[in-house]
Structure 1
Amino acid sequence: MTTQSTPSETPKGAWKITFLLFLFMLVNFADKIVVGLGGAPIMDELKLQPEQFGLLGSSFFFLFSISAIVVGFIVNRVATRWVLLAMALIWSLAQFPMVGTVSFTTLLICRIILGAGEGPAFSVAAHAIYKWFPDEKRTLPTAILSQGSAFGVILAVPALNWIIVNHSWHYAFGALGVVGLMWTLAWLVMGKEGPLVQTAAMAAADPAIPYGRLLTSRTFLGCCAATFGAYWALSLGLTWFTPFIVKGLGFSQQDAGWISVLPWVFGATIVLLTGWISQVMMARGYTTRGARGVLGSAPLIVGGLILAVLPHVAPGALMIALLVVGSGLCGSIYVVCPPMLGEFTPVQQRGAVIAIYGAIYTLAGMIAPSVMGSVIQHAATPLDGYMTGFTINAVVLVASGLLGLLLLWPNTERARLAAGEETAQAKFA
């Protein structure tokens, strides 16, 4: 029988698993960035128009949300250890077809398969980590998990760009396939299921809540709305940041590779600061409304306002700086939303709820790259198109941040759900 830890304890081995899942997310985002990083040579070799390249960026998300929901329900019943292993294997194998001569159609199909494998990644990894940390200690490990995305880009961009510049973009995909297989082997040997699982007694004390009520709670809707805006910015960064540097501002592919690291370095700093500040605020008695909800939402509004300035400055260093800061501030919301959902969701339903949340906000990834490609193709100049696209992003960010401030009240959500359940039962009594 599994030994249950008290709420204040962190089980032995928790930080080792956190590090392995940090690497899991690192590989995940390195896989995502490679198309954007190689965007200019891919468009040149395959003779793609901006709308086609935008479609390629969006294709990654075609099955992303569906997969996230399906796997979210699976991890309510199947150990996350094996689900994570299967996902990483799919990622790795989906990269290898690009090593040889490849058509646009083949590249498109492989990106769709890769997206299906990676769709549940963050939600399943977060669910796995929550089996190792009690609620009051989850914000920092969630921040570290989120850092895998930033470091996946920070570490991968120089290496992958070197391969692209000195060999070809084809081999960059192959390198990611090899790295994915290496993580799969490491997880097979060292990965474990966390001990903080729900027992029958705990389930009786923490009964299930109808999914209809969970998914229409205002904090769930607020998390989806706020993170949708952040993911709009992130998916543009993954697909269009490097092509913007090369084709919009005229930098070389080699220089653009180093510049492309900057948003992720800044974003990594923001995410770690958010995780640390959130836990300090909670330790000092702040409610999770302030320490998670407001802390995550306000930077979205500030970031959107910064991006709105882009069309009004001269192309060059200042434009890049505004884009880096405006986009990077969005990272705060990823740190705070999963713990907020975990506050009021029964443990036996948490995997599915976090996965559905991920499936909804990542719909932005299906829309944003295509919108940018369309406005670039129909603009008077590519730079005008980029400015229009970033202005749209600014509006989305401000709106999502305002919705977050309005809707995120995790500290009282469980009581509201319980009251609503009692009222519903009274009607049928």
Structure 2
Amino acid sequence: MAAQPTPKEPTSKEPTPKGAWKITFLLFLFMLVNFADKIVVGLAGVPIMTDLKLEPEQFGLLGSSFFFLFSISAIVVGFIVNRVETRWVLLALALIWALAQFPMVGTVGFATLLICRVILGAGEGPAFSVAAHAVYKWFPDEKRGLPTAILSQGSAFGVIVAVPALNWVIVNYNWHYAFGALGIAGLLWALAWLVLGKEGPLVEASSTQAAEPKIPYAQLLTSRTFIGCIAATFGAYWALSLGLTWFTPFIIKGLGYSQQQAGFISILPWIFGAAIVLLAGWLSQVLMARGVSTRIARGVLGAAPLAAGGAILAIMPHVQGTGLQIALLVVGTGLCGAIYVVCPPMISEFTPASQRGAAIAIYGALYTLAGIVAPAVMGSVIQHSPTLLDGYFTGFTINAVIMVVSGLLGLLLLWPNTERARLAGQAVATHSPVVPAKAGTHPA
């Protein structure tokens, strides 16, 4: 019996649906609030440690606690969005974020702060994967590079916009009110989404979606490119989670800057990272438009900067001068951003649309496990080092090694242009429906 062809999503020759960029902007704001929520503990790290009398290991645990339910929640919600409209899931996530911030407005102990961060992490774990799944319902595969880059920029701008404002609150009032301000921001976004948010029409408009052949998850999740995406992004997220938790304390306690000065310095990695992400998203689409395979336009473009960034970061502990140290830290960690732009589109290349939400969510759940380990490792290293600065430098050296290894694994494993054809071959071998190669791919 002949295999049934996979329903094709709209190609780049078809116009982008009206309202696609409005939804993209709303989801950009969604990610902005998401990362402002993440950064506040690191930004207020010194006053929190002072007020609650926390040791470095305890503060590292606080940073890690955000990720305790992060991955589990991402997987569960990833399967939910295969069946439930993303607009309602996004609204529920935003409300959880807002409500988890308000207890910190009053007097709290370490246990309450830790529990609220665990709850917040559970609400934010699925954020990027659900937002990416939602925006992909508005853009065909060939046009997803720039929207993905814009979503990723929500993280950078969340820090760039929020850090000066939140730091002003911390310096002039106290860190409790910074959490309250974020709770209000979450409620305002939820209200805007309730009024303006819509579900994308591209997949839902297809009457044949229910009959779309599926690929067994065992094959999807063990595919070379899927494993490569996890390995590469794990290294990038190790750097990001350290930046969220330990960058500002390093600037203040390690390098001797004031809280006010640290507020401005803390946005530098995110400004540089924003430029890298936008450049990577734009360059990826340009290369694909010129017929370059996604192996190069996505795989190499994402993994090579990650390995280079690790090499740059490894130099940082061995140079003199705080300005040069900060510059190397900013450039080294900022180069990681390219991998976030390319991995979700690579996964969507070979994953059926009906399974895409879960696949991207599982990918996110696995690479963000770095967030559980990295802050705790840094805290432990700092506490057991001869000096505070030695501890920070050792922690960043560990980060550099992980980035280089992750980038090299990405270069070895990321071959999205051949993945769909390979999975189709496996489907034939197991008498499953064949998933034909997408137009424009170039199997090796």
Shared fold (TM-score, shorter chain, > 0.5): yes
Asked if the contact 1:5/1:11 (under 8 Å) is kept, the reply is no
Whichever residue aligns with residue 355 of structure 1, its letter is A
Asked if the contact 2:20/2:138 (under 8 Å) is kept, the reply is yes
Asked if the contact 1:63/1:119 (under 8 Å) is kept, the reply is yes
Asked if the contact 2:209/2:354 (under 8 Å) is kept, the reply is no
- Provide the secondary structure at the position in 2 that maps to 1:309: helix
- Provide the secondary structure at the position in 1 that maps to 2:203: coil
- Provide the secondary structure at the position in 2 that maps to 1:196: helix
- Provide the secondary structure at the position in 2 that maps to 1:131: coil
Whole-angstrom distance in 1 between the partners of 2:324 and 2:73: 39
Deviation, structure 1 residue 425: 2.5
Deviation, structure 1 residue 310: 1.3
Whichever residue aligns with residue 396 of structure 1, its letter is I
Tell me whether 1:381 sits opposite 2:387 in the alignment.
yes
Q: Which residue of 2 aligns with 1:217?
A: 223
- Give matches, 1:130-141, under 5 Å: 130-141=136-147
Q: TM-score, normalised by structure 1?
A: 0.97
Cα deviation code 1:48-102 (max 9, x no counterpart): 0000000000000000000000000000000000000000000000000000100
Whole-angstrom distance in 1 between the partners of 2:412 and 2:374: 24
Q: 1:191 aligns with which of 173, 197, 217?
A: 197
Cα deviation code 1:274-317 (max 9, x no counterpart): 00000010111100000000000000110000011011112410
User: RMSD in angstroms over aligned alpha carbons?
Assistant: 1.0
Whole-angstrom distance in 2 between the partners of 1:235 and 1:5: 37
Deviation, structure 1 residue 416: 0.2
Deviation, structure 1 residue 201: 2.2
Whichever residue aligns with residue 370 of structure 2, its letter is A
Q: How many matched pairs?
A: 422
Q: 1:43 aligns with which of 46, 49, 57?
A: 49
Cα deviation code 1:185-222 (max 9, x no counterpart): 00000000000115342453x41000000000000000
Whole-angstrom distance in 2 between the partners of 1:424 and 1:373: 49
Asked if the contact 2:203/2:209 (under 8 Å) is kept, the reply is no
Q: 2:279 aligns with which of 254, 262, 273?
A: 273
Q: Which residue of 1 aligns with 2:437?
A: none
- Give matches, 1:268-347, under 5 Å: 268-347=274-353
Q: TM-score, normalised by structure 2?
A: 0.94
Cα deviation code 1:204-250 (max 9, x no counterpart): 3x410000000000000000000000000000000000000000001
Whole-angstrom distance in 2 between the partners of 1:37 and 1:6: 44
Whichever residue aligns with residue 306 of structure 2, its letter is L
Q: Which residue of 1 aligns with 2:401?
A: 395
Tell me whether 1:125 sits opposite 2:131 in the alignment.
yes
Q: Which residue of 2 aligns with 1:33?
A: 39
Whole-angstrom distance in 1 between the partners of 2:78 and 2:351: 14
Q: Which residue of 2 aligns with 1:367?
A: 373
Q: 1:201 aligns with which of 192, 204, 208?
A: 208
Whole-angstrom distance in 1 between the partners of 2:142 and 2:209: 18
Q: 1:350 aligns with which of 356, 364, 369?
A: 356
Whichever residue aligns with residue 103 of structure 2, its letter is P
Whole-angstrom distance in 1 between the partners of 2:260 and 2:11: 52
Q: 1:414 aligns with which of 420, 425, 432?
A: 420
Q: Which residue of 1 aligns with 2:117?
A: 111
Whole-angstrom distance in 2 between the partners of 1:288 and 1:348: 22
Residue identity (%): 79
- Provide the secondary structure at the position in 2 that maps to 1:62: coil
Asked if the contact 2:281/2:341 (under 8 Å) is kept, the reply is yes
Q: Which residue of 1 aligns with 2:71?
A: 65
Cα deviation code 1:343-382 (max 9, x no counterpart): 0000000000000000000000000000000000000011
Asked if the contact 1:75/1:352 (under 8 Å) is kept, the reply is yes
| Structure 2 unaligned spans of 5+ | 1-8, 433-444
Deviation, structure 1 residue 7: 4.8
Deviation, structure 1 residue 423: 1.2
Asked if the contact 1:249/1:315 (under 8 Å) is kept, the reply is no
Whole-angstrom distance in 2 between the partners of 1:396 and 1:6: 38
Q: 2:157 aligns with which of 145, 151, 156?
A: 151
Deviation, structure 1 residue 424: 2.1
| Structure 1 unaligned spans of 5+ | none
Cα deviation code 1:31-57 (max 9, x no counterpart): 000000000000000000000000000
Deviation, structure 1 residue 421: 1.5
Tell me whether 1:245 sits opposite 2:251 in the alignment.
yes
Deviation, structure 1 residue 399: 0.5
Whole-angstrom distance in 2 between the partners of 1:70 and 1:222: 22
Asked if the contact 1:63/1:115 (under 8 Å) is kept, the reply is yes
Q: Which residue of 2 aligns with 1:178?
A: 184
Deviation, structure 1 residue 252: 0.3
